[in-house]
Structure 1
Amino acid sequence: MAQSVQTTTILEQKEEKTVTLLVPQAGKRKFEFVYQNLITFAYWHIAGLYGLYLCFTSAKWATIVFSFILFVIAEIGITAGAHRLWSHKSYKVKLPLEILLMVMNSIAFQNTVIDWVRDHRLHHKYSDTDADPHNASRGFFYSHIGWLFVRKHPEVKKRGKELDMSDIYNNPVLRFQRKYAVPFIGAVCFGLPTLIPVYCWGESWTNAWHITMLRYIMNLNATFLVNSAAHIYGKRPYDKKILPAQNIGVSIATFGEGFHNYHHVFPWDYRAAELGNNSLNLTTKFIDFFAWIGWAYDLKTVSKEMIKQRSKRTGDGTNLWGLEDKDTPENLKNIKGE
């Protein structure tokens, strides 16, 4: 039976501090490479690019469509699951949806949710410092994928031990995923997506495997763009002093995760964007659908007035998405007395 969507508007800003770490600048840190990761990622990308070639030469349309559907499902497993639900607790879910999101997240295979959440909470608490696993102040390549090729900075390890992860460690659904990570994630991310095209519509093994690799690296790089491009390119209408920015291209690729300046200022908003239910935010629509049928509830939002006031106080004066026309950059400058 359908239920009305329940939302909670946060009237006062929560305390989610961004800590600046003062690290001695005696010299550049020498990176210690993880060669296993280098080889694995190289293979995934070469195989995926070959899969792209096969899409234009010999693959069946059913295989391509199937892989795109899996791309969408997997990406939402990251955005609605690992990110908005488990990392930020911006909404709550009933057990059937939690299990569904865990399976969707496993199709994406970006480590287990427990590891993903630990890294992401560090990222928000120590954003773009040495304790941030994918510190964007080290450049695009490092924040996009390079951080996975080297050993973690000592500050990441140190601060990671101080995080409160009790809600995640005590979650039986996430404990199951971690306990059976190799067989379960291996099956839903790589095994079944390869077997289904072969046995259901006669795709070749070569095509099925390499197009699975293509889908997989597309999921990886779409998510990685939030750490890299959305921390470098774009406007900062809510806090001009931080690196996260509003990036429309990233929002398209990740179904709503690219409104990143907003998200770092208001990380508890389940929409992760000031536009809320717009055409770029498929993740929000997904959550809203399950709120409508009663599987998601206590959706946290931010009041429109708080959004406007924060932008006026600390933003860069660029356009305020979704707000009145009177809130133009020129009017904001007048309000600020510039």
Structure 2
Amino acid sequence: MAPKQSSEETVEETSEDLVKPVPGQWTPRKYHIVYRNLLTFGYGHITACYGLYLAVTEATWSTLFFNWVIYVTASIGVTAGAHRLWTHRAYKAKLPLQILLMVMNTLAFQNTVTDWVRDHRLHHRYSDTDADPHNASRGFFYSHVGWLLVRKHDEVKKRGRQTDMSDIRANPVLRFQKKYAVPFIGTVCFLLPTVIPVYFWGETLKVAWHLAILRYIMNLHGTFLVNSAAHIWGMKPYEKNIKPAQNLAVSFITFGEGFHNYHHTYPWDYRTAELGNNMLNMTTLFIDFFGWIGWAYDMKTVDDEIIRSRAKRTGDGTNSWGHVKTVL
């Protein structure tokens, strides 16, 4: 069974961390647009819109099902891999599972795992401040996608250089993905999902390509909603003084990542929610399956009594997410 712990994961601090940015506070700044990213995102979204049209009018059911399977696989590659395993070290994975998760994550193409982990560790350590890459204090659009269209804030660059990434850089699976990022990600995320429908069941190249882009853009926005919607709308049953909230819709779309108030309160819990195993948390079911066959182990959780105590002490008095209640 999963071992339980009650203290936060330790992160190496530097002297500069003695004065941290204050959550919810940010400084006005002039945005410098990264035109390459703007053009890339523009092409991706226009192509995805045409892909949606083709999905309704021309695509075969085989192609639609194929891209749905990739969507789910890629999403869990982000949630179970880049997020819960490598960013938060909420559980451990044997080499076969690490390789599988790296390939699944590559299907999502949200930069390499190394880049993803660095940004997400910053996000948790300096949440909703100038040092948070997708600071939700700057509004929905910025936290959703705008942060990728402009140059990074100086605080993000500074704190990013101070972030301990030694565990990620020492991982041979992640070093492989980083070293061969362009050909490997291009092949796994775009080329194969386009060629396979054409070769195996005669889909047209036009439909296969545009649906591959549609699936990719949908994967991106699913993850982006955790950064944006789950930092704006929802309940705060565990910590009412932070922006992250419990958001049912985001949990459904992202296979369990929308229990965000809980996750920011207890980021090391491999379930990211006190609910654990349920159909809104397919990522936990995925990890539990590999725990059952022995590929995942040392899954960290938080004791129920600690969860109850925290909810009573710092929550907003709401909880519709399971067996833990704020009034006992």
Residue 121 of structure 1 is matched in structure 2 by 121
Tell me the distance in 1 between the aligned counterparts of 2:57 and 2:192: 23
Matching residue of 1:75: 75
The equivalent of 1:11 in structure 2 is: 6
1:94 alignment partner in structure 2? 94
Aligned to 2:210: 210
Contact persistence 2:230–2:244 (CA under 8 A): yes
Q: Distance in 2 between matches of 1:230 and 1:22?
A: 20
Match of 2:251 in 1: 251
Aligned pair in 2 of structure 1 residues 225, 67: CA closer, same or farther (>3 Å)? Answer: same
- Deviation string 1:61-101 (CA, Å, 9 cap, x unpaired) is 10000000000000000000000000000000100000000
Alpha-carbon shift at residue 27 of structure 1 (Å): 6.7
Taking structure 1 as reference, are residues 180 and 306 closer, same or farther at Cα in structure 2, changes over 3 Å only? same
Q: Counterparts in 2 of 1:151-166, with a 5 A limit?
A: 151-166=151-166
**Unpaired runs of 5+ in structure 2?**
none
SS of the aligned residue for 1:7 comes to coil
Instruction: Tell me the CA shift for residue 20 of structure 1.
Output: 4.7
User: In the TM superposition, what is the alpha-carbon distance from 1:22 to its structure 2 partner?
Assistant: 5.5
Alpha-carbon deviations, 1:100-124, whole Å to 9, x = none? Answer: 0000000000000000000000000
Q: 1:321 to 1:26 in 2, by over 3 A?
A: closer
The CA deviation string for residues 233-267 of structure 1, in whole angstroms up to 9 with x for no partner, is 00000000000000000000000000000000000
Partner of 1:33: 33
Instruction: Note the 1:54-69 alignment, pairs <5 A.
Output: 54-69=54-69
Which residue in the other structure is 1:199 paired with?
199
Distance 1:60 1:76 in 2: 25
2: CA distance, partners of 1:34 / 1:160: 19
Tell me if 1:235 matches 2:238: no
Report the Cα distance in structure 2 between the residues aligned to 1:158 and 1:28, rounded to whole angstroms: 18
Q: What SS does the corresponding residue of 1:104 show, helix, strand or coil? A: helix
Residue 111 in 1 paired to residue 106 in 2?
Answer: no
Q: Does 1:49 align with 2:37?
A: no
The structural deviation recorded for 1:297 is: 0.3
In 2: Cα distance, 1:14 partner to 1:175 partner: 24
Residue 320 and residue 103 in structure 1: after superposition, are their counterparts in 2 closer, same or farther (change >3 A)?
A: same
Give distance in 2, aligned partners of 1:78 and 1:12.
Answer: 25
Give the direction of change, closer, same or farther, for the CA distance of 1:313–1:185 in structure 2 (3 Å limit). Answer: same
**What is the root-mean-square deviation of aligned Cα atoms in Å?**
1.8
1:3 aligned partner: none
1:33-82 per-position Cα deviation (integer Å, ceiling 9, x unaligned): 10000000011011011111001111111000000000000000000000
User: Would the alpha carbon gap of residues 158 and 317 (structure 1) be closer, same or farther in structure 2, given more than 3 Å must change?
Assistant: same
Query: What is the correspondence of 1:167-182 to structure 2 with a 5 Å cutoff?
Result: 167-182=167-182
Unaligned runs of 5+ in 1: 1-5, 333-338
Q: Tell whether the 8 Å contact from 2:81 to 2:105 is kept in structure 1 after alignment.
A: yes
1:190 aligns with 2:185: no
CA contact (8 A) 2:256 2:284 kept: yes
Q: Offset at 1:322?
A: 2.0
State the distance in 1 between where 2:271 and 2:22 align.
33
Question: Cα distance 1:114–1:217, how it changes in 2: closer, same or farther (>3 A)?
Answer: same
AA aligned opposite 1:206: K
CA deviations on 1:299-334 (whole Å, 9 max, x unpaired) are 00000001000111110000253225xx35xx47xx
Cα 1:200–1:33 shift into 2, 3 Å: same
Change (3 A) 1:30 1:291: same
Find the aligned partners of 2:49 and 2:277 in 1 and give their Cα distance: 34
Matched residue, 1:221: 221
2 CA distance for matches of 1:163 and 1:144? 23
Give the direction of change, closer, same or farther, for the CA distance of 1:12–1:42 in structure 2 (3 Å limit): same
What amino acid is aligned across from residue 275 of structure 1 in structure 2?
L
1:309 partner amino acid: S
Asked whether the equivalents of residues 20 and 129 of structure 1 are also in contact (C-alpha less than 8 Å), the reply is no
**Cα distance in 1 between the residues matched to 2:27 and 2:127:** 21
Over residues 218-247 of structure 1, what are the superposed CA-to-partner deviations in whole Å (9 max), with x where a residue is unaligned? 000000000000000000000000000000
